[in-house]
Structure 1
Amino acid sequence: MIQVSGLRKSYGGTVALDGVDLNVRQGEVYGVVGQSGAGKSTLLRCVNLLERPSAGTVTVAGQDLTALRGKDLNRARQRIGMIHQHFALLSSRTVAGNVSFPLEVMGVPRAERRRRVGELLDLVGLGGRGGDHPHQLSGGQKQRVGIARALAGNPSVLLSDEATSALDPGTTQSILALLRRLNAELGLTILLITHEMDVVKSICDSVAIMSGGRVEESGPIGDLIRTPGSRLTREIFPLPDPAPAGSVTLTFTGDPRQPLVSEAVRKFDVDVSILGGSIEDLAGGSVGRLRVAFSGEQVPAALTYLRERGLLVETS
């Protein structure tokens, strides 16, 4: 649904994006994570051409946006909704007026606007609040208005720029649950920017980690978890570095209750000491990471046994 190829963006002598490639599949929630200054927000603004890249292409739903100008670009942008960190609501307008605004710009007749606004407010859990003004709403409610407004034009893609970073943890989870529900019910493709790994763990199917204007690694979370040396795995499951000499780090997906380690211990008559680890519930299921020390003559055979059963086995 979204393909970014060789994207570069410079501001004078400052390079914000340095050859970024990104592929977002239709219907997935794709997270872009990194610290401030990594280039995340610049990337998002280039995806809908609010910022025109210095080089490279951005293709959305098969259409090269970087080749468009004027009215053609504006029409293409109508298929892309955007929600903002600080809501960007018009204080002089009611909730309904804020949601209606893009429909007015698109020339939708008044009766159709009213019907559509009512549907959207019900969809985001704000039915009956259309006459309120933004100052009467909580932060989470304001963001729900922003989401409803972003959906006004029936977009196929939703861009989210740090949409939960100004919210408390409980409200953050409710907004993420709403985005996941919209993703499932409407078939929306969602590209979200965040600096919080908890957001990635809660909602994302795939992720790109950015640093210094470049993508360090990207792909489906399950694939990255199973990749040796993955930065994503290290950040989701922080273990002390460097790993002690002779230790083994085991990463597993699927049912964490499978007694694979104890099976290996019994089968190969080896001893095991647990040095650390945890299990996390990600959007795609449970994933665990365990650092252990094996001892015994058949340790190599035990490690082979674990690899054959789908565990990622990394030795130090």
Structure 2
Amino acid sequence: MIEASGLRKLYGQTVALDGVDLAVRQGEIFGVLGQSGAGKSTLLRCVNLLERPDSGTVTVAGRELTKLGERELNQARQRIGMVHQHFALLASRTVAGNVAFPLEVMGVGRRERDQRVAELLELVGLGGRGKDHPRQLSGGQKQRVGIARALAGRPEVLLSDEATSALDPGTTESILGLLKSLNRELGLTILLITHEMNVVKSICDSVAIMENGRIRESGGIGELIRTPGSRLTREIFPLPEPAAGHITLTFTGHPEEPVISEVVRKFDVDVNILGGAIEELAAGSVGRLRVDLAGGERDNALTYLRERGLLVEVAG
């Protein structure tokens, strides 16, 4: 649905994007994770060509946007919704007026426009608030208006620029729940940028980790969790660096068998648990356990754990 290849963007001598490749599948929620200055916002703005890359290509829904003229590009952008960090609502307009604005630009008639606005406000949980002004709304309600406005043109893709970073934790959870339901009910492809790991854990199917204008790691959450040395796994489970010989076990789902107990019985090994945690992700449960394993048939025990589907990493 979204393909970016070799994107490079400079601001003077500053390299904001340095050869970025990105692939987002239709119907998934894809998160771009990174700290301030990593290049996330520039990447998002290059996807809908609000920023034109110095080199590279962007293709959305089969159309290579970087080849389009201004008129064709404006038409293509109507299929791409955008949700902003600080809402970007028009203070002089009502809630309904804000949602209707892109429809007015598109030349949609008054009756159809009013009907669409009413549908959208119900969809985002703001039915009956159309006559209010933004100043009368909470932060979460303002973001719901922003989401409704972004959906006005029935987009295939929704871009989210740190949409929850200005919200409190409870409101953040409700907005993420709304995005997840829109993805499921409308088949909407969502590309969101964030510096918050909790956002990725809550709703993302796939993720790219950005740093200094480059993507350091990218893929499905489950795929990356099962990859030795994954940056994502280290971010989710910030365990201390292991000492030589220590073993880190990563597993998905809830084990149906007591594998640690079986390893002790079958291979006569001593297991010392050094730390660990279980996290509930959008992709399912993931656990990570740091152990020291000694004595008995240690190598056979490690083979047994791998055969049971665990990722086994031995330090050093």
Report TM bin, short chain: over 0.9
Displacement of 1:201: 0.3
Which is further off, 263-272 or 31-40? Answer: 263-272
Over aligned residue pairs, what C-alpha RMSD do you find? 0.7
Displacement of 1:219: 0.2
Change (3 A) 1:209 1:112: same
Aligned partner letter, 1:312: L
Displacement of 1:257: 5.5
Deviations along 1:261-309, one digit per CA (max 9) or x if unpaired, are 2221211111101000000000010000000001112011010001011
Aligned partner letter, 1:95: V
Alignment of structure 1 residues 270-281 onto 2, 5 Å: 270-281=269-280
Aligned partner letter, 1:311: L
- Distance across 2 between alignment mates of 1:285 and 1:259: 19
- Distance across 1 between alignment mates of 2:237 and 2:283: 16
Report how many aligned residue pairs link the two structures: 315
Deviations along 1:32-83, one digit per CA (max 9) or x if unpaired, are 0000000000000000000000000000011000001211000000000000
Aligned to 1:237: 237
Aligned to 2:213: 213
Give the alignment's TM-score, normalised by structure 2. 0.99
Aligned partner letter, 2:36: S
Is this contact kept in 2: 1:256–1:288, CA < 8 A? no
- Distance across 2 between alignment mates of 1:37 and 1:256: 40
Partner secondary structure for residue 10 of structure 1: strand
Partner secondary structure for residue 108 of structure 1: coil
- Distance across 2 between alignment mates of 1:24 and 1:262: 41
Is this contact kept in 2: 1:256–1:286, CA < 8 A? no
Aligned to 2:183: 183
Aligned to 2:122: 122
Which is further off, 109-118 or 261-270? Answer: 261-270
Deviations along 1:86-118, one digit per CA (max 9) or x if unpaired, are 000000000000000000000000000000000
- Distance across 1 between alignment mates of 2:138 and 2:2: 33
Aligned to 1:133: 133
Fraction of identical pairs, as percent: 78
Displacement of 1:245: 2.0
Aligned partner letter, 1:107: G
- Distance across 1 between alignment mates of 2:255 and 2:215: 30
Deviations along 1:168-193, one digit per CA (max 9) or x if unpaired, are 00000000000000000000000000
Aligned partner letter, 1:280: E
- Distance across 1 between alignment mates of 2:17 and 2:178: 31
Aligned to 1:225: 225
Task: Identify unmatched segments of 5+ residues in structure 2.
Answer: none
Alignment of structure 1 residues 1-316 onto 2, 5 Å: 1-241=1-241, 243-256=242-255, 258-316=257-315
Deviations along 1:140-188, one digit per CA (max 9) or x if unpaired, are 0000000000000000000000000000000000000000000000000
